[in-house]
Amino acid sequence: MDRAATAAADTFVEDIYVKPQFGLIEFLRRIREDQLSVLIPELFCRNMTYARLLFLHSFLIIKPEYIEQVLLTNCVNYSKSQFLRHLLGPLLGDGLLISEGEFWRRQRRFAAPAFHSRHTADLIATMGSCSEAALARWRTMTQPFDIAAEMMALTLNIISRTMFSQDVSGDVEAVRRLMDIVVTLRLSLLDLLGFPEWLPRRQPKAYRRAIAEFEALVSRFLAERRVDGIDRGDLLSMLLTARDLETGEGMSDKQLRDEILTIFLAGHETTANALSWCWYLLAQHPEVEARLHDELDRVLGARILNFADLAELKWTRMVIEEAMRLYPPVHTISRTAIGEDRIGGVRVPPGALISISPYVTHRSPNLWPEPDRFDPERFRPAAAAQRHRFAYLPFGGGPRISSATALRLRRPRSSLRPSRSATGCVSRLATSSNQSGSLRCARREGSG
């Protein structure tokens, strides 16, 4: 780069001004009740925007290079936001989703072996049996059914069996009550307006009761497992036997509780949302669905998927990745600036809220031609290699698709079609929307 170009780059300052569309009270109402409703069309064409809410400096970061600065190259300057800790801290404690620093690194060392590919391969059979049971039940249904509810039930069944080696259907209502409360939690006005940390943030009584109920359930599972002392090869056994390589210590019951709740609750809900939107998009695009069937028939025939098959399901992976581009399971990632920084030439003061919206970045016309169009071809390896690594971040850190996700679309022989339009009815937790319209689908005529 020549001297003039270097000087221009050094003096460049991103245009971050967006004309306010809502008054303060209306904005606060929308951001607490339906976050998608504040995403005006102009935002999708921008690289970065700024807003001031009383004491809070708030930045929305959209450009992949700026996202990379916050999440990777200068991540030491950005902590998990207090929004997340205040909302989910009482539930998830110091689990991997919320913890930071050396404690987070230690917990990651504990948990990493449980998610090694050799252990994931061992859990595939359990996932397959749960999926087969769901498909068998669907084939008996003669009326349309709620596919979002079915995906939630399926992923809950899978995570309970892979985590605890047992069916928790008897306790499923406690789980559902807790999830219903979690997805309707509202951001605190004190956080939205930047009030100091020492002011207490109160959580609803129903939330506290649901947490206590689920903690009792987890404590029961832990007590039963410690009594029998049997290594069942499930995720709970792996966490119980995990040892810190540096100290040789295992997890305390409090650490186990936090990681179990994080995996159990965060894992199954986001996967269920991703799968629900996959079904909807496949039903709207029969040519994509036909290619999916062809690939599954060619790779699997009539047998159940195994771990080695995942690498061969290339079109399946592309379909899932494109579905998560349009409807990312994690709609917002938030950080708090620890010290001063500059992003795009703009000063970011200490304490500023940094929001990264995969939903907005994934639909930016600067990054994705015809961004609202469903097109799995975007994820051919050659096309993906041309994009910045942070142009696609459905789970916050780039394209990470679990083996279970691929498995649950492994054999959709009972092809589904929508019984009514689901346009705009986005999952509440994935979008913080209260729109309650769900996907209702019926088995395709003549399917096997």
Of residues 347 and 332, more confidence is placed in 347
Which of 74, 103, 98 has the alpha carbon at shortest distance from 86?
Answer: 98
pLDDT value of position 226: 81
Of residues 36 and 48, more confidence is placed in 48
What are the tens digits of pLDDT across the range 146-195? 888 888 888 888 888 888 776 666 666 677 777 777 777 777 777 777 77
Spell out the residues 6+ positions from residue 416 whose beta carbon is closer than 8 angstroms to its own. Answer: 147, 279, 282, 283, 441, 442, 443, 444
Mean pLDDT for the stretch of residues 197-220: 82
Tell me what the pLDDT averaged over the chain comes to: 80
Q: Is 13 a domain residue?
A: yes
pLDDT band of 282, cuts 50, 70, 90:
very high
pLDDT at 247 over 70: yes
What are the tens digits of pLDDT across the range 213-240? 888 888 888 888 888 777 777 888 888 8
Of residues 86 and 44, more confidence is placed in 44
Q: pTM for the whole thing?
A: 0.83
pLDDT-wise least confident of 248-252, 356-360, 380-384: 248-252
Q: Is 207 a domain residue?
A: yes
> Do 378 and 118 touch, CB atoms closer than 8 A?
no
Q: Is 169 a domain residue?
A: yes
Neighbours of 330 (CB within 10 A): 21
Q: Is 27 a domain residue?
A: yes
What are the tens digits of pLDDT across the range 373-385? 999 999 999 999 9
In angstroms, what CA-CA distances link 144 with 63, 138, 150, 202, 419? 41, 10, 12, 41, 7
Spell out the residues 6+ positions from residue 57 whose beta carbon is closer than 8 angstroms to its own. Answer: 50, 194, 348, 349, 351, 352, 353
Q: Is 448 a domain residue?
A: no
Q: Residue 250: which domain range?
A: 3-443
Top mean-pLDDT range of 102-116, 150-164, 175-189, 283-297: 283-297
Q: Is 349 a domain residue?
A: yes
Residue located via tokens 């691929």:
406
Top mean-pLDDT range of 197-206, 260-269, 280-289: 280-289
pLDDT value of position 115: 65
The structure tokens listed for 44 are: 């999708």
The structure tokens listed for 355 are: 């929001």
| CATH code at position 60 | 1.10.630.10
pLDDT band of 443, cuts 50, 70, 90:
low
Percent of residues, the chain, with pLDDT higher than 70: 82
Q: Is 164 a domain residue?
A: yes
> Do 408 and 138 touch, CB atoms closer than 8 A?
no
The span from the CA of 129 to the CA of 151, in Å, is 15
Tell me the CB-side half-sphere exposure of residue 110, using CA atoms within 13 A.
Answer: 27
Q: Is 114 a domain residue?
A: yes
The span from the CA of 84 to the CA of 29, in Å, is 19
Mean pLDDT for the stretch of residues 325-343: 92
Q: Quote the number of domains for the chain.
A: 1
pLDDT at 304 over 50: yes
